């Protein structure tokens, strides 16, 4: 069966994910489609968050906005990790100024055990439609990344009902009702696998799993609560490269690198490039780790810091990115400086 999509002209990201030699690292930015861009804010004024996510034409347009401005090497589809919970029948609200809310969080084992794997093609069709539209809109100028939230991170929101500094309720639920919690994590993992496979069929050329709250777990708890499901997902996703991003879990880099089939690992800014390379023995592609707050420095300083970051990681098996999503108040010119710094980097003689 022939490929229905335009030929990929810029394969820098996929080369880096495969460990092939590149002239410079590929660059993209987490949350690069979003609220620091004035054109995004225009759409935000007209449509609610989930209207933007659930309308394929809007999601495609928002995904393309930073591509037109900065020409990064990859686009990441505009969506949200919590759509998986919505697909499972969980109500999610996201009102301006208050962050995500789950009005009826899971508080009992009975609620947990009632959750089941949904039909992702039916419940999340709009994401796949947006991916296909975007893959065509990109016309091969950048790779297209799909994504999902990791089971532990979604479990945190599901039980806590909102964002938290420590997700103490989520941890307590796991420790008090481990079998019910494991059921939920298994349901989320299986749903995520089906969702990512559907994204790949719809046009995603790589996928990333965000475990935004894994860093709240101790190393032992990470190995019990988060890691098994990251491994389950990585074992199942074989069609395209998979990036795992267990934010804050620097202690797990070695284990995740060698015990999963991930093509790359994301790293935040709380670990040095040298130590990240040491832990992973330079045998897996790393992505990150520029502190998003550093984008509030001057463009000249951003350029200097980005070049230093690449020098420390090395150009091979590396994807230049932030250590987390871009902040909403970063000036557009500072974001441009980040992209241009990567593109202008040259190896030291």
Residue ranges for the known binding site for substrate are 31-35, 50, 80, 157, 212, 324
Marked catalytic residue, from 73, 80, 211, 268 = 80
Alpha-carbon distance values, 56 to 53, 68, 77, 152, 289 (Å): 7, 18, 10, 28, 31
Q: Of 160, 178, 180, 179, whose CA–CA distance to 170 is shortest?
A: 160
Marked catalytic residue, from 36, 40, 157, 318 = 157
Q: Of 237, 220, 291, 227, whose CA–CA distance to 259 is shortest?
A: 227
Specify whether 31 is catalytic: yes
CA–CA separation, 344 and 331 (whole Å): 20
Specify whether 35 is catalytic: yes
CA–CA separation, 89 and 97 (whole Å): 24
CA–CA separation, 76 and 203 (whole Å): 12
Specify whether 44 is catalytic: yes
CB of 130 closer than 8 Å to CB of 138: no
Residue 244 CB coordination number (10 Å): 29
Binding residues: 31-35, 50, 80, 157, 212, 324
Specify whether 174 is catalytic: no
Catalytic residues: 31, 35, 44, 80, 157
């Amino acid at each position: 069966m022939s490929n229905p999509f335009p030929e990929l002209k810029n394969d820098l990201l996929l080369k880096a994910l495969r460990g092939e030699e590149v002239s410079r690292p590929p660059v993209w930015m987490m949350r690069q489609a979003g609220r620091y861009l004035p054109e995004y804010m225009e759409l935000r004024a007209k449509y609610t968050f989930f209207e933007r996510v659930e309308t394929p034409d809007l999601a495609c347009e928002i995904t393309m906005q930073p591509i037109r401005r900065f020409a990064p090497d990859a686009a990441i589809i505009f969506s949200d990790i919590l759509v998986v919970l919505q697909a499972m029948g969980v109500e999610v609200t996201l009102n301006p100024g208050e962050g995500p809310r789950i009005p009826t969080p899971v508080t009992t084992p009975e609620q947990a055990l009632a959750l089941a794997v949904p039909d992702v093609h039916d419940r999340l069709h709009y994401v796949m439609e947006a991916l296909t539209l975007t893959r065509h809109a990109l016309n091969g100028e950048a790779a297209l990344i799909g994504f999902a939230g990791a089971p532990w991170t979604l479990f945190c929101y599901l039980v806590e009902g909102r964002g938290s500094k420590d997700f103490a309720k989520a941890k307590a639920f796991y420790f008090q009702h481990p079998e019910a919690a494991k059921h939920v994590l298994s349901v989320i993992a299986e749903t995520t696998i089906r969702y990512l496979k559907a994204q790949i069929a719809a046009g995603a050329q790589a996928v990333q799993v965000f475990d935004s709250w894994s860093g709240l777990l101790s190393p032992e708890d990470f190995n019990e609560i988060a890691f098994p499901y990251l491994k389950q997902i990585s074992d199942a996703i074989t069609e395209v490269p998979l990036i795992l991003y267990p934010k804050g879990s620097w202690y797990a880099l070695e284990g995740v690198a060698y015990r999963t089939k991930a093509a790359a690992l994301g790293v935040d800014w709380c670990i040095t490039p040298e130590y990240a390379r040491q832990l992973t023995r330079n045998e897996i592609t790393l992505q990150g780790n520029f502190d998003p707050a550093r984008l509030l420095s001057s463009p000249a300083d951003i350029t200097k810091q980005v070049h230093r970051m690449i020098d420390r990681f090395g150009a091979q098996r590396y994807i230049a990115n932030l250590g987390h999503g871009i902040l909403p108040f970063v000036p557009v010119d500072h974001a441009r400086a980040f992209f241009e710094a990567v593109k202008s980097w040259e190896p030291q003689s």
